[in-house]
Amino acid sequence: MNDFGAALYQGVTFTDVYSPYMFDQGYYSFIAAILLVLPLIASFAFYYVWNPLYGDWKHWLLAIGGGAFLSAVFAHVLLNNFLARFLTDPNNYPDASTYLWQFTLWTFVLALISGIIWSYIIKWKSLRNRYEPL
């Protein structure tokens, strides 16, 4: 899972200092799990819990966007803890904060894509909201 997370993130957010540190410590596996699980829960909640009388594409977008937002928040908090030693020393590591926010934004984008993919997979077996988003 660490290799999967590194493949997703290092193409966009690679730096010589932080990326190898995160890979060596195995932190990409936590972020990749968040990236897959929270959008899955949001999609599952929309297709199996949400009342079908109120399901439309706006609610679907809210569910998928909410899952992506929660993924980005959890990733930001975890990354803030993982990189605490770099963030507390801005003189030697001036771009740690930029890396943190770039990583968080990329997590949001990937979680949004993941949520869309999960929703199309889950809706095949759903009896509720089967025709949403389209």
Residues 49-92 have pLDDT tens digits of 876 566 577 888 888 999 999 999 999 999 888 888 887 887 78
> What confidence tens digit (pLDDT) does each residue in 22-44 have?
888 888 898 999 999 999 999 88
Q: Is 84 exposed, middle or buried (0-12, 13-18, 19+ CB in 10 A)?
A: exposed
Cβ pair 35, 71 in contact under 8 A: yes
The reply to whether 130 falls in a domain is no
The reply to whether 118 falls in a domain is yes
Task: Report pLDDT for 133.
Answer: 66
The reply to whether 133 falls in a domain is no
The reply to whether 128 falls in a domain is no
pTM recorded for the entire structure: 0.86
Task: Report pLDDT for 55.
Answer: 59
Q: Which domain holds residue 6?
A: 2-122
Task: Report pLDDT for 100.
Answer: 87
Q: What is the DSSP string of 78-100?
A: HHHHHTHHHHT-TTT-TTHHHHH
The reply to whether 87 falls in a domain is yes
The reply to whether 103 falls in a domain is yes
The reply to whether 10 falls in a domain is yes
- Domain count across the chain: 1
The reply to whether 70 falls in a domain is yes
